[in-house]
Homo-oligomer: A and B are copies of this chain.
């Protein structure tokens, strides 16, 4: 699929939090196999349920949305640190706080694992920017129990149908009407679409409950989920 063999893997936070030892071990094994086959990776992890529970409670106290975003960022950083620990010693435990630091880690031959960076940004936008920075032409987006991008409704809604492929414009239309309250970023967002579009980065959305999907796509080139771009 890609000659340069550089990819970014985005993990839904809910895949690793609450954590299962089995999941983390299989994630480590799948990443390790991709690495041994010559793939160079960056990883971004979402905030998951921890983020959402804090944000919901604090919003009731009238805390500003940007500060709720900061709590979401810190949740994602915690999840990222857990994933980096599972990859020990191939990833620094000190989670990069901007893409310049992530690039330095990548250039040293390690796998940067990131959480969130700044309010207003989802972790999907982080993943898109990281892909640009390290020269990845694939962003592999691991969802939790959703098989890919659905049109005609959210997954599970009547009329919703799984897309096998989509253009950047189609993806943008699907994500456009989502609200942007902290903790409610979904699927992808418009900043992320702009970034992958401007740099011609392909995005593949798959169900990530089995992390072996990473090697199935990177090594075996299986055509799973939805390919955008």
A residues with CB within 8 A of B: 17-21, 24-25, 28, 50, 53-54, 56-58, 60-61, 63-71, 74-75, 77-78, 81-82, 85-86, 88-89, 92-94, 97-101, 103-104, 107-108, 110, 117-121, 125, 128-130, 132-133, 135, 179-181, 190-192, 194-195, 197-199
Complex: A97 Cα to B98 Cα, angstroms: 10
Question: For residue A66, which residues in chain B have a CB less than 8 angstroms away from its CB?
Answer: 99, 129-130, 132-133, 195
Taking a contact as CB atoms under 8 Å apart, the answer to whether A64 and B135 are in contact is yes
Question: For residue A133, which residues in chain B have a CB less than 8 angstroms away from its CB?
Answer: 64, 66-67, 119
Taking a contact as CB atoms under 8 Å apart, the answer to whether B199 and A65 are in contact is yes
The smallest beta-carbon distance between A64 and chain B, in angstroms, is 5
Q: 4 additional contacts, CB 8 Å, given A67-B85, A71-B82? A: A18-B53, A66-B130, A71-B78, A92-B104
Question: For residue A53, which residues in chain B have a CB less than 8 angstroms away from its CB?
Answer: 18-19
Closest 5 A/B residue pairs (Cβ): A180-B194, A21-B60, A66-B132, A94-B100, A19-B57
Question: For residue A93, which residues in chain B have a CB less than 8 angstroms away from its CB?
Answer: 67, 70, 100, 103
Could you write out 23 A-B pairs with CB less than 8 Å apart?
Answer: A19-B54, A21-B58, A21-B61, A24-B57, A25-B60, A54-B82, A63-B88, A66-B99, A66-B129, A66-B130, A66-B132, A68-B85, A69-B129, A71-B82, A71-B85, A74-B78, A77-B78, A78-B78, A92-B104, A119-B129, A120-B129, A179-B194, A180-B194
